[in-house]
Amino acid sequence: MSPPPVSDVVVLSGGLDSTVCLALAAREAGRPALALTFDYGQRHRVELERAAAVAREAGAEQLVVRLNAEAWGGSALTDPAIEVPSGGGEGLPATYVPGRNIIFLAVALGVAEAKGADRVWIGVNALDYSGYPDCRPPLIKAMRHVARVGQQRGVEGRPVEIRAPLQHLSKADIVRLGLEVGAPLRLTWSCYRGGPAPCGSCDACLLRAKGFAEAGAPDPSLE
């Protein structure tokens, strides 16, 4: 028996934001979305395990796409010779992966068109974030244009819609939203260092802790 058609493709890293997006997509469509996860040689490979666990709990089919981002390097997340910085510094942190969300969205659009899905969801955030340029509204706007002019269904007037519902929310608001929609936040992983437990000092850990603290909720992944 072939799997049922999907209406939504969600870029799922296994982190807080993408897990909330997966729950939002399922709530809107009334059925699980396709979870699209990227193995790009990231240092924090535990997030791949968490993404699989989130997809299982959500009853979502998961597609894992493997990329060789180590080949071009340039990031502490893909090059072991570059140290993951502790949070609080100025400028773009070394954890920026060149082209990451551009590539993720391009692949997601292709998967969506191939599977007949109408929407792609991505959990980028431009408020409580590390300053990555590919998390900002201009990137989402540009990729929406790509969907209109670079795909068959786009030029036919039925472009795949790109949803970025968390883009202008604080991390605390994302936590509250996740709790509201019943996203399995206890399964999520944010730490860039990827050790046996979150380091508590990288940008991702600090932003996550800030979000739960400001939301007045304990982080269930630490219990």
Taking each helix axis from N to C end, the angle separating 16-29 and 171-181, rounded to the nearest 10 degrees, works out to 40
The vertex-70 CA angle with 33 and 63, nearest 5°, equals 15
d(CA 115, CA 104): 16
Element (H, E) at 34: strand 34-39
pLDDT bucket at 69, cuts 50 / 70 / 90 = confident
8-222, what's its fold? Rossmann fold (3.40.50)
For the ranges 11-20, 66-75, 170-179, 209-218, which has the lowest average pLDDT? 66-75
Position 192 scores a pLDDT of 96
Q: Is the pTM of this model over 0.85?
A: yes
What's residue 2's pLDDT?
57
pLDDT at 3: 58
Q: Which among 157, 67, 72, 153 has a CA at the least distance from the CA of 115?
A: 153
Confidence (pLDDT) at 4: 64
pLDDT in tens, 151-199: 999 999 999 999 999 999 999 999 999 999 999 999 999 999 988 899 9
Q: Phi and psi for 206 in degrees, rounded to 5?
A: -65, -40
pLDDT interval class at 5 (50, 70, 90): confident
Dump pLDDT digits (tens) for 125-140: 998 888 999 999 999 9
Average pLDDT along the chain: 95
**Mean pLDDT, residues 201-223 taken together:** 96
Under 8 Å between Cβ of 84 and 194: no
- State both tokens at 6: 């999907």
d(CA 148, CA 70): 31
What is the C-alpha separation between 60 and 33, in angstroms, rounded? 6
Interstrand relation of 119-121 and 8-11 (parallel, antiparallel or unpaired)? parallel
Cα separation of 6 and 111, whole Å?
A: 11
Q: Where are the beta strands (DSSP E) in 40-147?
A: 62-66, 119-121
